[in-house]
Amino acid sequence: MKLQLGIYQNSSTNWSIYYLRRLATMTHIFVSYSRKDSETVDHIVGRLKRDGLDIWLDRGAIKGGDLWRKEIVEAIDNASACLLMVSPNSVASKNVRKEIDLADGADKDLVPMLLAPVEIPAELRHQLAGIQWIEYYRDPEVKYAELVEVLHARKPKPTVTEPETTREVETVIKGLDLSKFTPEKEEQLLNLIAVFTGTQRADLKVTKRRSGSVHIFVNMPADAAYRLKTAALNRDLRLINYGIEALRLTGDRHFIFLKTGRIAPRKPDKPGGGGSISGLTRMIVLFLSFLTITVGLLIASKFISSRFATETPTVTSTFTPTITKTPTITPISTIVFSAIPPPPEYTLTVNANCRKGPGSSYNRDTAIPLGENVEMLGRNSTTTWIYIRWYEQKFNQQWECWVPLIDEYNRPTGQTTIDLQKLKVLQLDQDFEPPNITANANPTSIYPPLCGGPFQTTVTAVITDNYGVMPSSVILWYQENGEYGTTGLRSKPMHYKEEGDPYIAVLNIQQDSLPVPPPPYGPNILKWWVEAQDPAGNLSKSNEQRVSINDSCP
């Protein structure tokens, strides 16, 4: 990795920032995978790194309701190729599908590798059509060698170039005539982008405009461009309320549609860009042209008949064209381009936990201190939780999560001036993925109390899920000599628990939690596993493991 000392000079002030930056080489491979396949993926990635490939692997999971991070968007945009770890887990993941859409939209080479047999869903067949597949599961060693060859072939020549300091972003403002995009409207758009991305207004410049739906091309610092693209993926309401329908970075093949977060081509605007008035005008012109041709043909017919007719036939009638109604063009109202008022605010009067769903069984995203103002985006059907957006200025981070109106201590969490019943009722995306459980016991061999120990084993389980798990559903099962037993696993109180905090249970011979095997029969084997259920009712079970219960001292 090569570093360069750089200087950023603000164009409107006289201060500078000195910083170290990595020179862009565009040689890294972006890996898209499901966290449930981490063990296999980590093994493959480790070998790829040892074979001289620069791998970009995201270690943080994007769970349901989480926001996309700029680092992922930027890593895909700057990748030389994208390696897709295809498995039943990954094709079922919305985030993997979105990463594939992003890579395809940015015109990146896709290298799909099958970790296991799988039926490709319809949503991915278009992106993956006609691409060479590497069936790793059939022969891992042979197929790994094939993968290395394919990735090295897609690796650009190792030339170090300056990273792009600016990028051009194309924004689409639907329903606005280009003639109505006044300098004032342009300034409103640039001010919005400046505030949104934390960029100096002087560093933003409109480079060109295009009619139809108004296309505005804005040149800006590269970091600001990636922030804007990430905000579009996160369907940021500030951009939607301003009238931006879609956007893309210049060079991308596809647009990101803000209302849905979908990545796809955009239908071409109708030529002319004049809207419905120009369409009516074309209809009138066609009608008059047809009428003129008809009248001309009738007059020509009359002239030919009179010129070559015999004396007997006489034309007694004449054709007099009459237009009984003159089409008129009536003014059609145009859409006024103006900012929609921001969402209503909620002021917290206590410290409040913000969760992934409307209930205390959902994982906590963050804690919001009292006195903070948050934006209300919706509510649940019973109006007991509100879905909010909070801008955490200290860490320059945005959160969207659920806050209760009454907390676990039966206190109102905040106050507002609006009727909460007027908020939109929101539903969570349907959750089909069960919890992921990683569990182990330590030690794996225990002894009766008379031996002085160790006479207990501690089972530790880390459980992750899109929205969290129900604590009462986290159960340790064990079986000895055909007899089953259960015990609960404890963790932090729910209002303090973070995702990834472990659940713990202790199996103790001394307290008669486990029977001591009778001496004649030798050591017993204790089988155990952990079960957990998420709020959507998906049940998961860890792998079965064993602990030896010895009948004699070591």
Instruction: Evaluate whether residue 469 is within a structural domain.
Output: yes
Which of 353, 388, 422 is a domain's end point?
422
Instruction: Evaluate whether residue 379 is within a structural domain.
Output: yes
Give tens-digit pLDDT for 158-174. Answer: 554 556 788 999 999 87
User: What pLDDT score was predicted for residue 22?
Assistant: 38
Contact, 79 vs 51, CB < 8 A?
A: no
Say yes or no: 101 and 216 in one domain.
Answer: no
Contact, 107 vs 251, CB < 8 A?
A: yes
Say yes or no: 542 and 483 in one domain.
Answer: yes
Say yes or no: 30 and 143 in one domain.
Answer: yes
Task: CATH number of the domain at 375, please.
Answer: 2.30.30.40
User: What pLDDT score was predicted for residue 312?
Assistant: 44
Instruction: Evaluate whether residue 488 is within a structural domain.
Output: yes
Give tens-digit pLDDT for 301-353. Answer: 554 455 444 444 444 444 444 444 444 444 433 434 344 567 899 999 999 99
Instruction: Evaluate whether residue 295 is within a structural domain.
Output: no
Which of 264, 286, 301 is a domain's end point?
264
By the 10 Å C-beta count (0-12 exposed, 13-18 middle, 19+ buried), 211 is classed as middle
Please choose, from the candidates 230, 229, 83, 240, the residue with its C-alpha nearest in 3D space to the C-alpha of residue 154. Answer: 83
Say yes or no: 236 and 351 in one domain.
Answer: no
Contact, 194 vs 214, CB < 8 A?
A: no
User: What pLDDT score was predicted for residue 158?
Assistant: 54
Q: Are strands 244-249 and 456-464 parallel, antiparallel or unpaired?
A: unpaired
Say yes or no: 109 and 214 in one domain.
Answer: no
Say yes or no: 444 and 358 in one domain.
Answer: no
Sign of CA dihedral 21, 27, 29, 30: positive
Please choose, from the candidates 414, 408, 317, 295, the residue with its C-alpha nearest in 3D space to the C-alpha of residue 361. Answer: 408
User: What pLDDT score was predicted for residue 346?
Assistant: 94
By the 10 Å C-beta count (0-12 exposed, 13-18 middle, 19+ buried), 331 is classed as exposed
Tell me how many domains the chain contains: 4
240's enclosing H/E stretch is helix 237-242
Provide the CA 189 distance to its chain's centre, in angstroms.
24
Say yes or no: 528 and 446 in one domain.
Answer: yes
Instruction: Evaluate whether residue 312 is within a structural domain.
Output: no
Tokens of 319: 């054709």
Three-state secondary-structure class, residue 364: strand
Tokens of 30: 């972006």
Instruction: Evaluate whether residue 112 is within a structural domain.
Output: yes
Ordered per-residue pLDDT tens for the chain, 554 residues: 333 344 434 433 333 333 333 334 466 899 999 888 888 999 999 999 998 888 988 865 444 444 567 888 888 988 989 999 999 988 888 888 888 888 888 888 899 999 998 888 877 877 777 787 899 999 999 999 999 998 888 876 655 455 678 899 999 987 667 777 888 888 888 988 888 788 888 889 998 888 767 888 999 998 889 889 988 888 888 888 888 889 999 888 889 998 888 888 877 665 544 443 344 445 555 555 555 665 555 555 554 455 444 444 444 444 444 444 444 444 433 434 344 567 899 999 999 999 888 888 787 888 999 999 999 999 998 899 999 999 887 777 788 899 999 988 889 999 998 999 989 888 776 666 788 888 888 888 887 766 776 778 888 888 887 777 767 778 888 776 666 777 777 776 554 556 667 888 887 755 444 454 444 334 577 788 888 887 777 888 888 888 887 777 77
Please choose, from the candidates 341, 169, 334, the residue with its C-alpha nearest in 3D space to the C-alpha of residue 246. Answer: 169
CA–CA gap between residue 243 and residue 321 (Å, rounded): 49
Could you list the residue range(s) of the whole structural domain that residue 472 is in? 436-549
CA–CA gap between residue 246 and residue 171 (Å, rounded): 6
CA–CA gap between residue 27 and residue 31 (Å, rounded): 13
Say yes or no: 537 and 446 in one domain.
Answer: yes
Q: Which DSSP category does 412 fall into?
A: B
CA–CA gap between residue 114 and residue 317 (Å, rounded): 83
Contact, 117 vs 137, CB < 8 A?
A: yes
Task: CATH number of the domain at 249, please.
Answer: 3.30.70
Instruction: Evaluate whether residue 63 is within a structural domain.
Output: yes
Say yes or no: 31 and 79 in one domain.
Answer: yes
Instruction: Evaluate whether residue 304 is within a structural domain.
Output: no
DSSP 136-173: TTT-HHHHHHHHHHHHHHTPPP---BPPPSEEEEEEEE
Say yes or no: 49 and 97 in one domain.
Answer: yes
Say yes or no: 349 and 468 in one domain.
Answer: no
User: What pLDDT score was predicted for residue 261?
Assistant: 81
DSSP 251-315: TBSSEEETTTTEEE--PPPPTT--HHHHHHHHHHHHHHHHHHHHHHHHHHHHHHHHHH--SS---
Which of 264, 297, 327 is a domain's end point?
264
Task: CATH number of the domain at 499, please.
Answer: 2.60.40.1940
Say yes or no: 446 and 412 in one domain.
Answer: no
